C-alpha cells in the first residue's frame, strides 16, 4: 500500500481507485492512501514549511478510493468514508482549495511559502476572494507581503519614474506661475504710479495739447523701462 501511495503522488490522471485486498489492510495503510491526496487528514507536529511541501507534493487529481469489503480489511468506517469522498473538484481547483486551507492556517506569516515578490499581487487577490477583507489585511501584515512595498514590480517602477517627471514639471510650472504673478503685480503697480502722476500734475484733464503730448512721451519712456 505504501508503494502504491508513493506512486500516486506523481500521478495526474487517475481519479478513482478500487482496491480488493488479499492481504491485511488496516487504518495505517488507509491513512497512507488518504495522505496522498489530503495532506491535512492527520494531525502531525510538522512545521508549516513541511506542511506546505506536503501540499505541493500531494495528488490533486485523485477524487475517491474504494476498498472492497474483505475479511482482511479492518479499516474504520470513518476512514473509508473519507477515502470515498476525497474531492469533487478538478485538479486545479483542488490544488487551490488545499493552498487556501494552508494559507488560512498560517495567514499571519506566509514567508515560508517562498513566494516571489512579483507574484504577491496575485496572492493577495487569491486571499481576498477566499478570505475576504479580513484575510487580505492579515496577509498584508505578514512580513513577506510587505516586501512588495520595498521591491516594486517593473510596471510600478515605470509608473514611479513617470510620476517623478510629472512632479518635476509641476515644480517648474509653479515657479513660472509665481514669476508671472509677480510680473503682473509689477505692471499693476506701474499703472497705479502713472495714474497718480497724471492726477498730481494735470488733474483730471490736460490743460493744453502740448502738456498732454509731453506727458504722453513721459509715459512711453516709463513703459520702455525693463520690468525684471
- Which tens digits make up the pLDDT trace of 117-129? 778 788 888 888 8
- The confidence band for 13, taking pLDDT boundaries of 50, 70 and 90, is confident
Average of per-residue pLDDT across 52-77: 88
- Please determine, for residue 200, whether its predicted confidence score (pLDDT) is greater than 70: no
DSSP letters of 38-102? -TTSS-----HHHHHHHHHHS-SS--EEEE---TTB---HHHHHHHHTS--S-HHHHHHHHHHHH
Q: Which secondary-structure segment (H or E) carries 17?
A: strand 16-19
Average of per-residue pLDDT across 186-190: 81
Residue pointed to by grid coordinates 506701474: 190
Q: Which residue has the higher pLDDT, 216 or 83?
A: 83
Average of per-residue pLDDT across 59-71: 88
Q: Is this model's pTM higher than 0.85 or not?
A: no
pLDDT at 97 (0 to 100): 93
Q: Which residue has the higher pLDDT, 134 or 112?
A: 112
pLDDT at 149 (0 to 100): 52
- Which tens digits make up the pLDDT trace of 127-173? 888 877 777 777 776 655 555 555 556 666 666 777 788 888 888 99
pLDDT at 165 (0 to 100): 83
Contact yes or no for 74/24 (Cβ under 8 A):
yes
- The confidence band for 220, taking pLDDT boundaries of 50, 70 and 90, is low
- Please determine, for residue 217, whether its predicted confidence score (pLDDT) is greater than 80: no
Amino acid at each position: 500500500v505504501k508503494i502504491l501511495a508513493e506512486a500516486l503522488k506523481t500521478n495526474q490522471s487517475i481519479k478513482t481507485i478500487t482496491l480488493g485486498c488479499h492481504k491485511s489492510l488496516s487504518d495505517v495503510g488507509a491513512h497512507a492512501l488518504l495522505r496522498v491526496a489530503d495532506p491535512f487528514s492527520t494531525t502531525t507536529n510538522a512545521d508549516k514549511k513541511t506542511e506546505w511541501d506536503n501540499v505541493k507534493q500531494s495528488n490533486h487529481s485523485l477524487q475517491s478510493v474504494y476498498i472492497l469489503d474483505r475479511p482482511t480489511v479492518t479499516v474504520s468506517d470513518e476512514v473509508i468514508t473519507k477515502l470515498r469522498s476525497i474531492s469533487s473538484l478538478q485538479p486545479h481547483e483542488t490544488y487551490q482549495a488545499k493552498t487556501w486551507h494552508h494559507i488560512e492556517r498560517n495567514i499571519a506569516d506566509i514567508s515560508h511559502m517562498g513566494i516571489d515578490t512579483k507574484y504577491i499581487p496575485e496572492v493577495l487577490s487569491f486571499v481576498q476572494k477566499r478570505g475576504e477583507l479580513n484575510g487580505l489585511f492579515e496577509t498584508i501584515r505578514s512580513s513577506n507581503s510587505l516586501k512588495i512595498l520595498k521591491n516594486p514590480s517593473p510596471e510600478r517602477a515605470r509608473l514611479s519614474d513617470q510620476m517623478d517627471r510629472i512632479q518635476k514639471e509641476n515644480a517648474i510650472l509653479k515657479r513660472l506661475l509665481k514669476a508671472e504673478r509677480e510680473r503682473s503685480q509689477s505692471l499693476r503697480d506701474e499703472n497705479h504710479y502713472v495714474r497718480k502722476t497724471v492726477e498730481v500734475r494735470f488733474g483730471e484733464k490736460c490743460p493744453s495739447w502740448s502738456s498732454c503730448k509731453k506727458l504722453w512721451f513721459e509715459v512711453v519712456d516709463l513703459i520702455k523701462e525693463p520690468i525684471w
